[in-house]
Amino acid sequence: MLAVLTGGTGGAKLVQGISLETDPEDLVVICNTGDDFVLHGLHISPDLDTITYTLAGISDGKKGWGIAGDTFVALEWLGRYGGESWFKLGDKDLATHITRTRLLSEGLSLSQVTDHIRNALGVKAKVLPMSDDRVETRIATPAGEISFQEYFVKRRWQGEVSGVSFAGAERCRSAPGGLDAIREATGVIICPSNPVTSIGPILAVPGIRAALKETEAPVIAVSPIIQGAAVSGPADRLMAAMGMEVSSFGVAKAYADFVDLFLIAHEDAALQEKIEGLGIKTIVASIRMGSLSDKRSLAREVVARL
Amino acid sequence: MLAVLTGGTGGAKLVQGISLETDPEDLVVICNTGDDFVLHGLHISPDLDTITYTLAGISDGKKGWGIAGDTFVALEWLGRYGGESWFKLGDKDLATHITRTRLLSEGLSLSQVTDHIRNALGVKAKVLPMSDDRVETRIATPAGEISFQEYFVKRRWQGEVSGVSFAGAERCRSAPGGLDAIREATGVIICPSNPVTSIGPILAVPGIRAALKETEAPVIAVSPIIQGAAVSGPADRLMAAMGMEVSSFGVAKAYADFVDLFLIAHEDAALQEKIEGLGIKTIVASIRMGSLSDKRSLAREVVARL
């Protein structure tokens, strides 16, 4: 059994590759839920949805979010009623949020709801929120704290960031099965997701980091940074804001206490020795995932090391 | 100012006519909310919506519910997740229910929410729920009690009915402005809606019936029954179940304590004398409303008597 830690967009590409190169029934995908938020009164879990839609083969690969071919009829009318329309909710996607909100209000946990949704969409891999409790990634800016979605979607990651925090993380519990999945896995994969706001919240869940250190399985990470820049999204900006070195080395350093093997891009070959100085075996590989074939070959490269 | 009491489909036709034949800013439309229910975790107010959509000129006249040209993308996906799909919620319509549910959860009253929605849709007439409190029309059947929507939509008004009750009515209060609208109106119109489950719940709101008796304005009702049959819907079956005579006379008798003028169909001319025996002035008119022109001419007929 493989345990995979991931955020949304970037990580979803590798998750897709892994699900095609292994038996998806043997996968447990532990997702960031720090970006979860309530909009229009609906509970939205962007990373859980991106991963579930990706595994169901219905994700919109071009946009990197939502369901392929979705329509936006309800959203336009929500806007007509004065509702916020900066977060693009498709009609099919909306059904996911309506269902999640209803089931949560009926007393199901977020992991039970996530299981219900992935089963309905025919997803064989287990998709697990990092926690059933509410953890909220907060972005500190000179003008005050904002939610991750406001920073990421509404402001398109522009403007100065002075800090990132995970409200509720210290009191939350790992979702049922999460710690066991890491401890009992034959391999653990840290996807090339934002180390600050995608993997960071998962590592902030009490017990996760310890489980990663303790597990006997090899822990492999893929760098989300190539030549000092994020492959996608604001990872580089947020790493800089957190005082991290914006490079593959900076990512490796953040994971040094639990990662056994680190995959970096050919362009970063010069960093290999420096990263190995952290005690992490480092492999230079093709880690850009433009095509489905790229995703599958990187997945094969990763899985072959386990 | 005119006060209009109405349910959904049948009443909406006359409401449309009245809004075109008078200044809509002078209209207060008091709607049945006994059919309101929660589905997919969303608060649905079928009659408020039918009236608001009708007044906004966006209702689906052919179907008699919903918004013209609406799509049903989200509903299909709600069904995929195991959600109930017997109540046909369009994508635009869904935005109304999502907005209502959010605003109610933020502490607004149903009448404040209704005002927000009709203003957003450019409706000049005041649309008022009969009450901001929860009143639920319950249909007693040999197999137990069911909600009105389950009876009306899911079971398509088939099966035996042994009684109708309005749970919560005795403790509810008329929505702000409702009683005053009736008392201060220059005319009150009871639409040709189901006397049992559309007008019945409104009359069960404490104070409404008394206001109808007390108001100095003429109170005019239009019969929803022609030749012993409902023009649309289950009014005839429900009247029979309640032990009422299924005829224009039966409707007039139910309203005899407050109606001054009653409009019946030419086909029911023979009942005129019997109804006038109840002390209600009765007029024979063309009360079927197939076309927009029918709606407007019946509205003119009604308004001319005020």
Confidence band (pLDDT; 50, 70, 90) for A12?
very high
Residue-wise pLDDT for A66-97, tens only, equals: 999 999 999 999 999 999 988 999 999 999 99
Contact A120 B82 (CB under 8 A): yes
| Mean pLDDT (whole number) for A145-171 | 91
Residue B119 has pLDDT above 90, yes or no: yes
Partner residue facing A81 (CB), from B73, B76, B95: B95
Partner residue facing B99 (CB), from A73, A83, A120: A83
Residue-wise pLDDT for B211-231, tens only, equals: 999 999 999 999 999 999 999
Partner residue facing B71 (CB), from A40, A71, A101: A71
A103 to chain B, minimum CA–CA distance in Å? 8
Q: Are strands B219-222 and B144-147 parallel, antiparallel or unpaired?
A: unpaired
Residue B153 has pLDDT above 90, yes or no: no
| Mean pLDDT (whole number) for A151-171 | 91
| Mean pLDDT (whole number) for A275-294 | 96
pLDDT value at position B133? Answer: 98
Using alpha carbons, select from A103, A112, A6, A100 the residue that is nearest to residue A50: A6
**What residues are paired with A181 via a beta bridge?**
none
pTM of the model as a whole = 0.94
* Whether the Cβ atoms of residue B85 and residue B75 lie closer than 8 Å to each other: yes
Structure tokens given for B253: 């008798």
Contact A71 B78 (CB under 8 A): no
Contact A102 B70 (CB under 8 A): no
The residue of B81, B97, B108 whose CB has the most chain A CBs within 10 angstroms, and thus the best one to mutate to test that interface, is: B81
d(C-alpha A195, C-alpha A6), whole Å: 10
| Mean pLDDT (whole number) for A11-32 | 97
* Whether the Cβ atoms of residue B199 and residue B192 lie closer than 8 Å to each other: no
Contact A40 B98 (CB under 8 A): yes
Domains, in order of start, for chain A:
2-39+171-304 (3.40.50.10680)
Using alpha carbons, select from B215, B211, B222 the residue that is nearest to residue B187: B215
How many inter-chain contacts (A to B, CB under 8 Å) are there?
A: 94
Q: Considering chain B, what percentage of its residues have pLDDT values greater than 90? A: 91
* Whether the Cβ atoms of residue A252 and residue A278 lie closer than 8 Å to each other: yes
Q: Considering chain B, what percentage of its residues have pLDDT values greater than 70? A: 100
Q: Tell which phi-psi region holds residue A271, choosing left (phi > 0), alpha (psi between -120 and 50) or beta.
A: alpha
Strands (E), B40-125: 42-44
Round the CA-based radius of gyration of chain A to a whole number and report it: 18
Q: Indicate the SS3 state at residue B242.
A: coil
pLDDT value at position A59? Answer: 95
Contact A80 B95 (CB under 8 A): yes
d(C-alpha A254, C-alpha A202), whole Å: 13
Integer CA distances (angstroms), A280 to A93, A214, A255, A299, in order: 40, 16, 9, 20
Q: What is the DSSP string of chain A?
A: -EEEEE-SHHHHHHHHHHHHHS-GGGEEEEE--TT-EEETTEEE-HHHHHHHHHHHT-B-TTTTSSBTT---HHHHHHHHTT---SS---HHHHHHHHHHHHHHHTT--HHHHHHHHHHHTT--SEEEESBSS--EEEEEETTEEEEHHIIIIISTT-S---EEEEETGGG--BPTTHHHHHHH-SEEEE-S--TTTTHHHHHHSTTHHHHHHH-SS-EEEE-SEETTEESSTTHHHHHHHTT--SSHHHHHHHHTTT-SEEEEEGGGGGGHHHHHTTT-EEEEE-----SHHHHHHHHHHHHHT-
* Whether the Cβ atoms of residue A65 and residue A152 lie closer than 8 Å to each other: no
Contact B81 A116 (CB under 8 A): yes
Structure tokens given for A212: 């990663």
Q: Rounded to 5 degrees, what are φ and ψ at A240?
A: -60, -45
A42 to chain B, minimum CA–CA distance in Å? 8
A58 to chain B, minimum CA–CA distance in Å? 13
Query: Which value does ipTM take for this structure?
Result: 0.92
- When the pLDDT of each residue in chain B is averaged and rounded to a whole number, the result is 96
Contact B116 A81 (CB under 8 A): yes
The residue of B67, B71, B73, B99 whose CB has the most chain A CBs within 10 angstroms, and thus the best one to mutate to test that interface, is: B73
Residue B70 has pLDDT above 90, yes or no: yes
Q: Which chain A residue's Cα is nearest to B72?
A: A91
| Mean pLDDT (whole number) for A37-43 | 97
Round the CA-based radius of gyration of chain B to a whole number and report it: 18
Contact B91 A101 (CB under 8 A): no
Integer CA distances (angstroms), A226 to A256, A258, A267, B124, in order: 18, 21, 7, 59
Residue with tokens 């005020």: B306
d(C-alpha B165, C-alpha B37), whole Å: 15
| Mean pLDDT (whole number) for B235-262 | 96
Residue B265 burial class via C-beta count within 10 angstroms: exposed 0-12, middle 13-18, buried 19 and up: buried
Contact B41 A82 (CB under 8 A): no
Residue A38 has pLDDT above 90, yes or no: yes
Residue-wise pLDDT for A113-134, tens only, equals: 999 999 999 999 999 999 999 9
The residue of A40, A72, A73 whose CB has the most chain B CBs within 10 angstroms, and thus the best one to mutate to test that interface, is: A73
Give contacts of B94 with chain A, Cβ < 8 Å: 74, 94, 98
Give contacts of A116 with chain B, Cβ < 8 Å: 81-82
Q: Considering chain A, what percentage of its residues have pLDDT values greater than 70? A: 100
- The contacts of residue A48 (CB under 8 Å, 6+ apart) are A31, A33, A36, A110, A114, A127, A129
Confidence band (pLDDT; 50, 70, 90) for A34?
very high
Residue-wise pLDDT for B13-28, tens only, equals: 999 999 999 999 999 9
Contact B77 A71 (CB under 8 A): no
* Whether the Cβ atoms of residue B45 and residue B36 lie closer than 8 Å to each other: yes
Q: Rounded to 5 degrees, what are φ and ψ at A191?
A: -70, 160
d(C-alpha B191, C-alpha B202), whole Å: 12
Using alpha carbons, select from A59, A65, A54 the residue that is nearest to residue A299: A54
Residue B157 has pLDDT above 90, yes or no: no
Partner residue facing A73 (CB), from B81, B92, B102: B92
pLDDT value at position B123? Answer: 98
Residue A185 has pLDDT above 90, yes or no: yes
Confidence band (pLDDT; 50, 70, 90) for A21?
very high
d(C-alpha B100, C-alpha B125), whole Å: 19
Q: Tell which phi-psi region holds residue B66, choosing left (phi > 0), alpha (psi between -120 and 50) or beta.
A: left
Structure tokens given for B78: 């709600």
Q: Indicate the SS3 state at residue B84.
A: coil
Residue-wise pLDDT for B124-152, tens only, equals: 999 999 999 999 999 999 989 999 988 98
Q: Which helix (H) or strand (E) holds B81?
A: none
Residue with tokens 């990634």: A137
Residue-wise pLDDT for A234-261, tens only, equals: 999 999 999 999 999 999 999 999 999 9
Check residues B64 and B261 and name the one with the higher pLDDT: B261
| Mean pLDDT (whole number) for B287-300 | 96
d(C-alpha B211, C-alpha B3), whole Å: 11
Residue A65 has pLDDT above 90, yes or no: no
Interface of A with B (CB under 8 A): 40-42, 70-71, 73-78, 80-83, 91-92, 94-96, 98-99, 101-102, 105, 116-117, 120-121
Give contacts of B96 with chain A, Cβ < 8 Å: 77, 81
B164 to chain A, minimum CA–CA distance in Å? 28
pLDDT value at position A159? Answer: 86
